[in-house]
Amino acid sequence: MISTKFGETDLHIGDTLGVYSKVEEGGKVRVQTYEGILIRARGRGENKTFTVRRIGVGGIGVERTWPLDSRSLVKIDVKKKAAKVRRSKLYYLRDLSGRSAVRV
């Protein structure tokens, strides 16, 4: 599965996404942004999930997975479209470091 849909937005593997999700801390609810590369989309129907990878502090890769039908997702923005992606899973990015780990 190289592409999927979230509402009106088309998501393709390798796109740089901004994922806005609701986070509840104590009694407050706020919207948290997570920006990274879409490396995986899997499942069908209600079981569809997607994984976004970004490079965190100290050059450590951080991956986060959400169900596509989650109520905590507010919106997903496509920040940058992928140029040439011919794979459905971009696990090889885990072995790369530096700028090559962020470019697709």
> What is the DSSP secondary structure assignment for residue 44, as one 8-state letter?
S
- 37 in Cβ contact with 90 (< 8 Å): yes
pLDDT of the residue at 62: 94
Distance (Å, whole) CA 75 – CA 33: 10
- pLDDT (0 to 100) of residue 58: 87
The domain 3-95 having CATH identifier 3.30.1310.10: the answer here is: no
- pLDDT digits (tens), the chain, 104 positions: 577 788 788 999 999 999 999 999 999 999 999 999 999 999 998 899 999 999 989 888 999 999 999 999 999 999 999 988 999 999 999 988 888 888 87
Listed by start position, the domains of the chain span 3-95
Give residue 1's pLDDT.
57
